[in-house]
Chain A
Amino acid sequence: MRRVVATGLGVVSPLGSSSGAFFDALLAQQSAIRLHDLGWGTRLAARVESDVESPFPKLKRIGLDRVTLMALLAVRQAADQAGGAFVDSETTGLFWGTGMGGASTLENSYRDIFQKGATRLRPTTVVAGMNNAASGHIGIDFGVLGPSFTYSSACSSSAVAIGEAMRAIRGGWIDRAIVGGSEALLTEGVMMAWDALQTIAHTDTDHPETSCRPFAADRTGFVLGEGAAALILEDEERARVRGARCLAHLAGYGNTTDARHITQPDPGGQARVMVHALADAGLSPERIQHVNAHGTGTRIGDVNETIALHQVFGAHAPGLAVSATKALHGHLMGATGALEVIATIEALLRGEVPPTAHLGKPDPLCDLDYVSEGRRRIENLDVAMSNSFGFGGNNVSLVLRRCHP
């Protein structure tokens, strides 16, 4: 069976707009979470502060939602790093994830109708707002002629995209893929909808940037974020022949459904997905050294992920370095799976894992090693796992391995 490697990484995130800058910020425990006066209210959010519009001519931006602009910027970085050309190739596929697509385009159109009394809308409303807008424009800009898919399974969307691309390359259907996800949902309507679900972190008035506290006793939920993360995946042999640098092996992929509850995560489904990913990688649980947890910071989610990790890893569970990076970059929904896979790859490249920030008060029910003291070097860091569990009950686990020259 063919093996799959990552040869390019791209990040447009609240913690910086390159893979390296993003991971540096994670290691330094910098939080992108802020209180923002959004005009209609003040909310915690992790926003992309870099200018994502000016890199594109105004004419090109017509009909492009923020979710697509960020996607194109992230893919450009990944493609530049990978080198080589995808142009006009049917052996290149496109696998993208997003939760809410062009949320601001749709919201603005509703505002035009219901508030301003508009009787018609901008002609580009559909093409900017549709969930596959980002993948459509990536295809156009990068000349992808092979298969393309847009996955929307909430928080696991872009992790699914990575896993399915991996399978497509392994199986010989395609040779390389542009994969990842983007999300731009910091709009009034979307944020108020999330407020109503009562999964959003309460604001720490003294230190708003510490409001998201995965695995801590005083955790109250997550903070919405936006951004894009992209990878170039390739058949290992073809990457080697063309002299591309291997950044990580994508060794294992699992995908399960809880079939229990629309929001409440099930440790059983989470445990099954990790078992599948390990089996797919052909590795025993003891080989995993680091886990980038889904770790959103909700009351039930963090306990259930801890239970699932105990079930899968048994006596090895306390030996895992478990990091929940959403405390710092926020929850990027459809983009978060890919962003955290990139964090995991950076950890393998550098031999150092990021901390779980703001974990001052441990929860007795969350009893693993969450790297709460700060960044940690791990000698011979070789194998890691990244978990993404979505509303709707979809679970994805990906196993990544360091490249050996």
Chain B
Amino acid sequence: MTIETHCYTTRMATVLPIICQLLVDEFDLPADQLTEVTAFETLGLDSITIVEFMFMVEERFNLKLDLEAEPADMKTIGDVAREIEKLISRTTA
């Protein structure tokens, strides 16, 4: 319930809740603190943990994020969700 309430937008109805759920499952983060605009830094993730999380996201969606091209753009949960959405739409196009 909490994930759907806080971590949801119609634009990314599928991807965003999955990413939030990953943060809950893998890092025990409180679901009610996770929203589209939440920055990883504010959740206590440091640079190495963020990279580890990106790896988990890639595994979960079986996709490869282009981290080297735009590292600065992956600061929030929404940033990652948008990138995944983009990659999914590219692969299904």
- Identify the A interface with B (CB < 8 A): 57-59, 62-63, 120, 122-124, 127
Contact = CB atoms under 8 A, between A and B. Distances in A.
A59 B45 contact: yes
A124 B45 contact: no
A123 B51 contact: yes
B48 interface: yes
Contacts of B54: 123
Contact of B48 (A58, A63, A120): A63
A124 B48 contact: yes
B52 A124 contact: yes
Contacts of A58: 26-28
Interface residues of B, number: 13
A138 to B, nearest CB: 17
Contacts of A57: 28
A124 B54 CA distance: 12
Nearest to A57: B28
Nearest to A121: B55
B49 interface: yes
Contacts of B43: 59
B29 interface: yes
Given A59-B44, A59-B45, A123 B52 contact: yes
Interface centre among B26, B29, B43, B48 (most CB of A within 10 A): B48
- If over half of A's interface residues share one DSSP class (helix, strand or loop), that class is named, otherwise mixed; here it is loop
B52 A59 contact: no
A63 B49 CA distance: 8
Contacts of B48: 62-63, 123-124, 127
10 contacts: A58-B26, A59-B27, A59-B43, A59-B44, A62-B52, A63-B49, A122-B52, A122-B55, A123-B52, A124-B51
Interface in B27-67: 27-29, 43-45, 48-49, 51-52, 54-55
A140 to B, nearest CB: 10
Contacts of A63: 48-49, 52
Nearest to B54: A123
A19 B26 CA distance: 33
A59 B51 contact: no
A59 B55 contact: no
Nearest to B43: A59
Nearest to B26: A58
Contacts of B28: 57-59
Contacts of A62: 26-27, 48-49, 52
A57 B43 CA distance: 13
Contacts of B27: 58-59, 62
Contacts of A127: 48
A257 B58 CA distance: 50
Nearest to B25: A58
A377 B80 CA distance: 65
Contacts of A123: 48, 51-52, 54-55
A124 B27 CA distance: 14
A63 B27 CA distance: 12
A330 B54 CA distance: 40
A62 B25 CA distance: 12
A120 B54 CA distance: 13
Contacts of A124: 48, 51-52
A394 B55 CA distance: 41
Contacts of B26: 58, 62
Nearest to A59: B27
Q: Considering the complex of A and B, which 8 residue pairs feature the smallest CB-CB distances, nearest first?
A: A58-B28, A59-B27, A123-B51, A123-B52, A124-B52, A62-B49, A58-B27, A123-B55
A59 to B, nearest CB: 4
A120 B48 CA distance: 16
